[in-house]
């Protein structure tokens, strides 16, 4: 069975306009993501994990190597992939419903009333009653729910989440993680979730990919053997703690070089 | 009486009432001070005389004529400015290369006192409406271009990235992200342009003109007809206030 996502020899280098030369964000990365799995990528700031996500999304071209989705090379954005952003990236002049419609409009969805479809996804993420609010009237957690609704509305096969809870406070993060799993359980799309929170990575993922920086590469891949659905209490269990130890060890070996 | 409201709430007047009272007080002082001999009405006139003068020039038709001339110059110049400056600003914002080319002369023009170019416009377009329209055009176009350009440049890159992630074409990005995101900045440019345009038309008419409000202001000033002079000045103020309020309302709707 072909993995849903195959990352082969991925290298991403950016030019440094001021100092000259190139900054290698990711070097020769190899990763296979099976269909329907929730894979989290954890690593320190600057380890290139967001760049990996952008490459899968087709928003950044690899400097070397390639990304395959269902065996086909990724050359740009596609209807099969949708992204959720750390800074929400909602259009401030659009209401909640209009923001959720945004992807549908861009992808020229036909044969269905876009507004009713958008309404369904607003309900799904628990924002019933806030359809006509503007982003500035919402809390951070609510804005990210809109971002998630927008991504789900286009029915992608792959969900890409770039530190989606990074801009939220600790308690909202936990609650949102719970919410996200609840929503994900419904149809178990393939998900790639980037974070720098170790606990978040273990709690959410079927597999945790640990990345180092300078330049970014994978130092460990850990299968998370905890049953679903997961409650917050699972974070106190031995398997969870063991994962955490292993990830910390993997990161410690690298961050001491930072 | 509602429970919990302090008695003072019933006593303090609302903001509108205070505003009206302030104007009424000002008019009262303006009317009474000359009558009581505190100031010489030759220099200040009085509201009653200004009102009378207003009735005179209105019924004689001169008010309507000069107002029409100035208004035509303003509207023509401003409409031209909008038609040219908004697209130009969008282009310059979107294409950095064009910006490097055109930025220096634009910034130089922005820094130049509007009326410094009037003699050139008169040379090119004569002392009729043409030179005034040109002053209005330049006065309004420059801030509109500069602010529109800035509006495009400061569009949040994350919004563009998000649109692209949903397969937006370049045209989609421009129409569905860049344009609505720059609209508040465009409105700021328009608001600045309006005040420069009004200034431009009135002062240009004061210097070189056959008619128009500025022209009348100049004549009446030289003739020491302060009462009639103030009629025109108040007219310009009222127009400026109306326009600025209009633009602010539009800004609120857009932001």
Which residues on chain A are in Cβ contact (under 8 Å) with B183?
A: 93
In terms of domains, do B152 and B249 share one?
Answer: yes
pLDDT in tens, A114-173: 999 999 999 999 999 999 999 999 999 999 999 999 999 999 999 999 999 998 998 899
Quote the pLDDT of residue A258: 45
pLDDT > 80? residue A43: yes
Which residues on chain B are in Cβ contact (under 8 Å) with A78?
A: 167
> Has residue B195 been placed in a domain?
yes
| A83 interfacial to chain B (CB closer than 8 Å) | yes
pLDDT > 90? residue B9: no
pLDDT in tens, B180-229: 999 999 999 999 999 999 999 999 999 888 889 999 999 998 998 899 99
A78 and B167 in contact by Cβ < 8 A?
A: yes
In terms of domains, do B63 and B28 share one?
Answer: no
Nearest to A83 among B159, B165, B254 (CB): B165
Which residues on chain B are in Cβ contact (under 8 Å) with A154?
A: 166
3-state secondary structure chain A: CCCCEEEEEEEEEEECCCCCCEEEEEEEEEEEECCCCEEEEECCCCCCHHHHHHHHHCCCCCCEEEEEECCEECCCCCCCEEEECCCCCCCCCCCHHHHHHHHHHHCCCCCCCHHHHHHHHHHHCCCCCCCCCCHHHCCHHHHHHHHHHHHHHCCCCEEEEECCCCCCCHHHHHHHHHHHHHHHHHHCCEEEEEECCHHHHHHHCCEEEEEECCCEEEEEEEECCCCCCCCHHHHHCHHHHHHHHHHHHHHHHHHCCC
Low-confidence winner among A14-23, A218-227, B208-217 (lowest mean pLDDT) = A14-23
| B251 interfacial to chain A (CB closer than 8 Å) | no
3-state secondary structure B164-189: HHCCCCHHHHHHHHHHHHHHHHHHHH
> Has residue B2 been placed in a domain?
no
Number of domains, chain B: 2
A83 and B163 in contact by Cβ < 8 A?
A: no
DSSP classification of residue B156:
-
Percentage with pLDDT > 90 across chain B: 58
The whole-model pTM stands at 0.84
In terms of domains, do B177 and B246 share one?
Answer: yes
| A105 interfacial to chain B (CB closer than 8 Å) | yes
Q: What is the CATH number of the domain that holds B248?
A: 1.10.3720.10
> Has residue B114 been placed in a domain?
yes
B166 and A89 in contact by Cβ < 8 A?
A: no
**In whole numbers, what is the pLDDT of chain A averaged over residues?**
92
pLDDT in tens, B19-66: 889 989 999 999 999 888 888 888 888 899 999 998 988 888 888 999
In terms of domains, do B153 and B175 share one?
Answer: yes
In terms of domains, do B20 and B138 share one?
Answer: no
Q: Give the mutation candidate from B96, B160, B167 for the A interface (greatest A CB count, under 10 A).
A: B167
Please report which confidence band the pLDDT of residue B4 belongs to, taking 50, 70 and 90 as the band edges: low
Structural domain for B28, as ranges: 7-44
In terms of domains, do B96 and B165 share one?
Answer: yes
Low-confidence winner among A21-25, A114-118, A150-154, B86-90 (lowest mean pLDDT) = A21-25
């Amino acid at each position: 069975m072909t993995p849903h996502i195959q990352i082969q020899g991925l290298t991403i280098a950016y030019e440094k306009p001021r100092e000259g030369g190139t900054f290698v964000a990711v070097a020769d990365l190899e990763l296979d993501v099976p269909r329907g799995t929730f894979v989290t990528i954890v690593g320190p700031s600057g380890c290139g994990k967001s760049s990996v996500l952008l490459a899968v999304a087709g928003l950044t071209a690899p400097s070397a190597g390639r990304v395959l989705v269902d065996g086909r090379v990724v050359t740009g954005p596609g209807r099969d992939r949708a992204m959720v952003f750390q800074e929400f990236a909602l259009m401030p002049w659009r209401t909640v419903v209009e923001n959720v419609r945004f992807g549908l409009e861009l992808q020229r969805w036909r044969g269905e009333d876009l507004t009713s479809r958008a309404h369904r996804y607003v309900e799904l993420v628990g924002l019933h009653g806030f359809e006509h609010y503007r982003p500035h009237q919402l809390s951070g957690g609510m804005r990210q729910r809109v971002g998630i609704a927008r991504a789900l509305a286009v029915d992608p096969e792959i969900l890409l989440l770039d530190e989606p809870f990074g801009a939220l406070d600790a308690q909202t993060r936990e609650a949102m993680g719970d919410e996200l799993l609840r929503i994900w359980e419904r149809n178990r799309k393939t998900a790639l979730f980037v974070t720098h929170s170790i606990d978040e990575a273990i709690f959410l993922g079927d597999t945790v990919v640990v990345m180092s920086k300078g330049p970014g590469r994978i130092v460990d891949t850990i299968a998370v053997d905890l049953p679903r659905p997961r409650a917050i209490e699972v974070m106190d269990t031995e398997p969870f703690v063991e994962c955490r130890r292993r990830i910390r060890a993997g990161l410690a070996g690298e961050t001491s070089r930072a | 009486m509602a429970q919990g409201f302090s008695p003072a709430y019933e006593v303090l007047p609302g903001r509108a009432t205070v505003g009206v009272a302030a104007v009424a007080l000002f008019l009262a002082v303006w009317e009474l001070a000359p009558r009581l001999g505190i100031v010489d009405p030759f220099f200040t006139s009085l509201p009653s005389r200004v009102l009378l003068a207003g009735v005179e020039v209105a019924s004689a038709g001169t008010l309507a004529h000069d107002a029409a001339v100035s208004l035509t110059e303003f509207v023509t110049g401003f409409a031209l400015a909008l038609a040219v400056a908004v697209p130009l600003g969008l282009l310059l914002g979107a294409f950095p290369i064009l910006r490097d080319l055109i930025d220096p002369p634009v910034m130089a023009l922005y820094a130049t006192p509007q009326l410094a170019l009037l003699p050139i416009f008169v040379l090119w377009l004569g002392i009729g409406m043409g030179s005034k329209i040109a002053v209005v055009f330049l006065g309004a176009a420059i801030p509109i271009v500069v602010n529109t350009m800035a509006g495009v440049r400061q569009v949040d890159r994350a919004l563009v990235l998000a649109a692209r992630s949903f397969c937006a074409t370049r045209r989609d990005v421009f129409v569905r992200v860049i344009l609505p995101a720059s609209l508040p900045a465009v409105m700021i440019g328009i608001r600045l342009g309006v005040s420069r345009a009004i200034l431009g038309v009135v002062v240009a008419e004061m210097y070189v003109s056959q008619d128009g409000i500025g022209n009348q202001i100049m004549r009446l000033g030289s003739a020491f007809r302060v009462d009639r002079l103030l009629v025109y000045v108040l007219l310009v103020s009222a127009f400026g206030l109306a326009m600025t309020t209009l633009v602010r309302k539009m800004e609120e709707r857009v932001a």
